[in-house]
Amino acid sequence: MFIHDLIHQGAPDAMAIIDHDRRFTYRDLQTATAACRNRLYASGVRQGDRVGIFSRNSAEFVFAFMGIASLGAIAVPINFQLSNREIAYIIKDAGIETILTYQPLNLVDAMAQLRCDLKVSQHDIRNIGRPKAGVPDAPELSEYFNEGNPCEIIYTSGTTGNPKGAVLSHRNLITNTEQLDVMHCRAEHNVLCVLPMYHCFGLTCSLLYPLHCGATVIILDSFTPKETISTIRDERITDLYIVPSICSLLTKLASTEDMKTVRLVVSGGTTLPLKIQQDFIHKFGVDICEGYGLSETSPVVTMNPPERPKVGSCGIAVPGVQWKLLDADGNSVPQGEAGELVVKGENVMLGYWNLPDVTHDAMRGGWFHTGDVARVDEDGYLYIVDRIKDMIISMGENIYPREVEELIYQYPGIYEAAVIGIDDKLRGQAGACFYSLHDGASVNIRELKKFLQANLALYKIPREFHQMEKLPRTTTGKIAKRQILKAFQESKEKNKEK
């Protein structure tokens, strides 16, 4: 089965996509995909070509993605919030010669800076799903094309350096949609797609999986609290795939009446603070099924089963995923201890685009090394402790920021918190806490430290506390720790100069 076969999963007259006041049946989706396919072939796109999609969430994004896949070409979704330099880097790295965009891109200067001489053909994505007179039907895929062929390249931000392109095959994506059957989506369900489709979590969970089930996908081009809440209410949304920051805002602003049709809430993208989860469940009476995944795994690795979720965990491995927890020497850790999570399965990427050495390192021993530290309980539920690279080593002791952050979230008045490692002449590293407050709240740092001292070893207590009006976030809802640290370091340098 190929990814574009998903457009045939629903009944022809059943609603496939609702995009504001536009409604498309599964038959309409098939027609629009065919139109996109024919237009792209007529413009010269062939099997294996990389085609960029630069667009906000829209029905046209879906037509484009399916049309590209049906030609055997490779879709490259691009974050529409990137700078021209960052967009140009992806175009050069992936070798994109055709891009579908919702607004013209002027990349001449950025491409010149990168010494890239690719001639990029831009097409208005808003027309791509409309049949065009005189455009012949594209030929069928070669009989030699199979599910193992690449379908898309997802560029990951990484922690340092340039982004890497995770290559996902048709089999990777179809496998992950099938693994998500543990969420029990049905044709009668209405699934909200408010997370960006250029990100694997939004694409697979709130678009591909519902189409696999013949359900209806309701598209919002971005998250705004008022529009999202009214859409949940008016379109009788049953399934929500969101990130922790959206969970928090829904708890704050939505009424129980607004959320009465919701049967399933899945949180991913970044770890869900326990306080945010508890507040949401208490207000709406709906469990949050936290999951875990990465772009490299299409993305879902674990998920809390709706029938038996465990608060605080990221669930159990979805069917077909094998996993182990390893120490620094590559040995399995004893039961109950933390170790790096490594995984294996048909949903794991083919590799990083044009990066064989990096791929080999990430896939050593035949297992994908996630870079995340986890522990498992006696029932097989996994708990993400932290990113290995976020771990703070102070006087030889390992400090996992998430453990400290969870406690800080419990303190009255705290809205957001991020604990980040900073240089310390005596200890090597120390923790610095950056936080924001609920409206009208205030926090006595001395009292906060006393609270932490009563619940943590002294070496885990952050050395510094810095209040911010708002913590910056990435486009997928994660607190942007690198951005905070960079601003902090620049501020220190300026103060030294004074």
pLDDT digit string, tens, across residues 123-132: 999 999 999 9
Residue 100: φ, ψ to 5°: -100, 120
pLDDT digit string, tens, across residues 432-471: 999 999 999 999 999 999 999 998 888 899 999 999 999 9
- Separation between Cα atoms, residue 126 and residue 53, nearest integer Å: 12
- Separation between Cα atoms, residue 318 and residue 302, nearest integer Å: 5
Which CATH code is given to the segment(s) 391-497?
3.30.300.30
> What angle separates helix 274-284 from helix 244-253, to the nearest 10 degrees?
40
CATH 3.40.50.12780 domain span(s) along the chain = 3-376
Q: What pLDDT does 426 receive?
A: 78
- Separation between Cα atoms, residue 339 and residue 20, nearest integer Å: 45
Average pLDDT over residues 82-96: 92
Q: Quick one: pLDDT band at residue 160, thresholds 50, 70, 90?
A: very low
CATH 3.30.300.30 domain span(s) along the chain = 391-497
Which tokens belong to 272?
């869900």
Q: What pLDDT does 394 receive?
A: 86
- Separation between Cα atoms, residue 361 and residue 373, nearest integer Å: 17
CB 234 within 8 A of CB 297: no
Cross-strand partners of 242? 267
Domain 3-376 listed as CATH 3.30.1360.200: no
Q: What pLDDT does 157 receive?
A: 66
Q: What pLDDT does 391 receive?
A: 86
Q: Quick one: pLDDT band at residue 340, thresholds 50, 70, 90?
A: very high
Q: What pLDDT does 245 receive?
A: 87
Which tokens belong to 495?
């103060």
Q: What pLDDT does 161 receive?
A: 62
- Separation between Cα atoms, residue 54 and residue 77, nearest integer Å: 6
Q: What pLDDT does 159 receive?
A: 43
Average pLDDT over residues 144-150: 97
Reduced DSSP (H G I as helix, E B as strand, rest coil) percent helix, strand, coil of the chain, to 5: 35, 25, 40
pLDDT digit string, tens, across residues 432-443: 999 999 999 999
Residues above pLDDT 70, as percent of the chain: 99
User: What region, left, alpha or beta, does residue 428 occupy, with left being phi > 0 and alpha being psi -120 to 50 degrees?
Assistant: left
pLDDT digit string, tens, across residues 418-435: 999 998 887 889 999 999
Given a cut of 90, is residue 83 above it in pLDDT? Answer: no
Given a cut of 70, is residue 213 above it in pLDDT? Answer: yes
Average pLDDT over residues 84-96: 93
- Separation between Cα atoms, residue 289 and residue 264, nearest integer Å: 8
Given a cut of 90, is residue 309 above it in pLDDT? Answer: yes
Which tokens belong to 263?
């049967």
Which tokens belong to 72?
């055997």
Q: What pLDDT does 46 receive?
A: 98
Q: What pLDDT does 498 receive?
A: 63
pLDDT, the chain, mean: 94
Average pLDDT over residues 119-126: 95
| Beta pairing class for 216-219 and 322-326 | unpaired
